[in-house]
Each structure stands twice: as structure tokens, then as C-alpha cells.
């Protein structure tokens, strides 16, 4: 059974007769054809495409009124996107998607309802539970998923500055300002004592970012930190 949770936290299990059968995994490679020569050359790195899919099936109950109630509840939930879509309600992985409509096909004078809900997941990754780990000095942080994760890193206390290095990837974060520091690597924001301080961050971090790769990451920090991330899969 598919589970849906909208932005308001309203949760619903869909009838077993509605399924998520086809989930694409597209990769975009920018390239330029060669004039007068065979083939082409890549002009950028491959990126993952948004996922477009549909929840499809039928709603059937002996009581026609219950079909309408099920539809009303479903449309009410879809009216508040984005929607977390769990392909199986027993699994922790979900796509965050936006519904693009809900075409309906009433069958046999309303005794059965065929429905299709096209959706697009602008972020193509499957996400799972959040994880938090504390690091002091040097520590190996193991990431148990298939795609790199983008963490939020915060100092435990007020500090004179921050330096964090992922020795596995070579990426690093440096913030040269005193206070309690919070670095959001996904949105490229830096807060020091809850005030924006992007100007105190190193240029290397702004250019290359900071992530944890699947498997072991050897992290070194000059001050105690907390690392929070959400598991994700391709």
C-alpha cells in the first residue's frame, strides 16, 4: 500500500488497488556535437532529472458513498503539497512530489472509480530517516545509503572559529568568526549566533560545498560539532 503525507502532516494509506508502478530514473548529460567529426563531447557533468510518475488504479467499495468519501479525503490531502510519497507504507524511503492533477473515470454509474494522479518529484532522490552524530577531533562517520548526503553542521558551544575537513573527499569548511556556528551545506547558509555570516566562510566551501559520501568518511574538526543529515538513495 502507498502512503502519502502532505505538508500539513496529514497521512493517508491508499487502497491496495492504487499502485505506483513506473518510477523513472533519468540522467541528463549536456554535450556539444563536433562539426565535421563523429560523435560529441561532454560540456558538463551528468545530473539527475526530476522524476515524473503517476499513482494509478481504481477505488471500489460496495457502498458508493464510501467511494466519494475516499476521493474527497484524497483530493483534500493532495491540495496541500509537497507530498511525501512512500511506495510501500512499511518502508522509510519517500519521494517529495507535487501532484499535477487527478483525472477521474467514473465507471458503472459511480459504482467504481478509476483514477490517475500524475506527479513530479523535483528532487529526484529517495529520502529516509534523519541521522545525527557528534564529532570531536577525528572520527569516522559511516553513511549507510547509496547517494551522498548534505549535512547541517553546528558547533556544540560558542567558539572562536570553525574548521571541518572530510579527509575522504578533501572537502572542507572554514568559518572565521566567533560564536555558535551553524552551517547548512544544502542551502549554503552560515549563521553565527543566529545572524547571517556567509562572508566569514571560506571560498573553497562556497565553490565546492561539503558532503558525506556513502561508506566511511574520516572527519576532522578543531572544535566539537554535531552533524545532522538525512539518508538518501538514487
The 3-state DSSP class for residue 102 equals coil
Q: Which fold has domain 128-233?
A: Jelly Rolls (2.60.120)
The 3-state DSSP class for residue 186 equals coil
What is the per-residue pLDDT for 148? 97
Cα distance between the two ends of the chain: 21
Cell 579527509 belongs to residue: 167
pTM listed for this prediction: 0.86
Domains of the chain, residue spans:
3-124, 128-233
8 A C-beta contact, residue 95 and residue 84: yes
Cell 568518511 belongs to residue: 217
What is the per-residue pLDDT for 109? 73
Residues in Cβ contact with 2 at an 8 Å cutoff, skipping those fewer than 6 apart: 13, 14, 18, 19, 20, 55, 85, 86, 87, 88, 89
Q: Which fold has domain 3-124?
A: Elongation Factor Tu (Ef-tu); domain 3 (2.40.30)
Q: Provide the β-strand partners of residue 172.
A: 165
Per-residue pLDDT of the chain (234 residues; tens, 9 = 90+): 999 999 999 999 999 999 999 999 999 999 999 999 999 999 999 999 999 999 999 998 888 889 999 999 999 999 999 999 999 988 899 999 999 999 999 987 768 999 999 999 999 999 999 999 999 999 999 999 999 999 999 999 999 999 999 999 999 999 999 999 999 999 999 999 999 999 999 999 999 999 999 999 999 999 999 999 999 999
- Other C-beta atoms within 10 Å of 90: how many? 8
The 3-state DSSP class for residue 233 equals strand
Taking Cα atoms as reference points, which of 152, 156, 119 lies closest to residue 22?
119
What is the per-residue pLDDT for 108? 78
What is the per-residue pLDDT for 194? 96
Backbone phi, then psi, for 71, in 5-degree steps? Answer: -65, -45
How far apart, in whole angstroms, are the C-alpha atoms of residue 86 and residue 126? Answer: 9
8 A C-beta contact, residue 134 and residue 221: no
Amino acid at each position: 500500500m502507498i502512503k502519502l503525507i502532505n505538508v500539513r502532516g496529514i497521512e493517508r494509506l491508499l487502497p491496495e488497488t492504487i499502485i505506483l508502478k513506473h518510477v523513472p530514473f533519468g540522467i541528463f548529460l549536456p554535450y556539444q556535437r563536433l562539426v565535421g567529426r563523429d560523435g560529441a563531447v561532454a560540456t558538463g557533468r551528468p545530473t539527475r532529472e526530476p522524476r515524473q510518475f503517476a499513482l494509478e488504479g481504481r477505488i471500489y467499495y460496495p457502498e458508493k458513498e464510501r467511494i466519494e468519501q475516499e476521493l474527497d479525503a484524497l483530493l483534500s490531502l493532495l491540495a496541500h503539497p509537497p507530498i511525501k510519497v512512500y511506495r510501500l507504507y512499511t518502508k522509510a524511503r519517500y519521494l517529495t512530489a507535487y501532484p499535477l492533477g487527478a483525472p477521474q473515470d467514473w465507471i458503472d454509474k459511480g459504482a467504481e472509480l478509476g483514477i490517475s494522479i500524475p506527479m513530479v518529484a523535483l528532487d529526484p532522490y529517495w529520502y529516509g530517516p534523519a541521522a545525527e552524530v557528534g564529532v570531536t577531533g577525528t572520527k569516522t562517520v559511516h553513511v549507510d545509503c547509496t547517494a551522498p548526503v548534505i549535512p547541517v553542521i553546528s558547533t556544540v558551544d560558542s567558539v572562536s572559529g570553525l574548521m571541518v575537513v572530510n579527509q575522504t573527499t578533501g572537502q572542507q569548511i572554514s568559518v572565521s568568526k566567533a560564536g555558535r556556528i551553524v552551517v547548512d551545506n544544502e542551502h549554503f547558509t552560515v549563521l553565527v549566533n543566529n545572524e547571517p555570516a556567509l562572508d566569514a566562510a571560506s571560498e573553497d566551501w562556497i565553490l565546492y560545498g561539503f558532503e558525506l559520501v556513502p561508506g566511511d568518511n574520516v572527519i576532522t574538526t578543531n572544535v566539537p560539532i554535531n552533524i545532522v543529515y538525512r539518508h538518501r538513495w538514487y
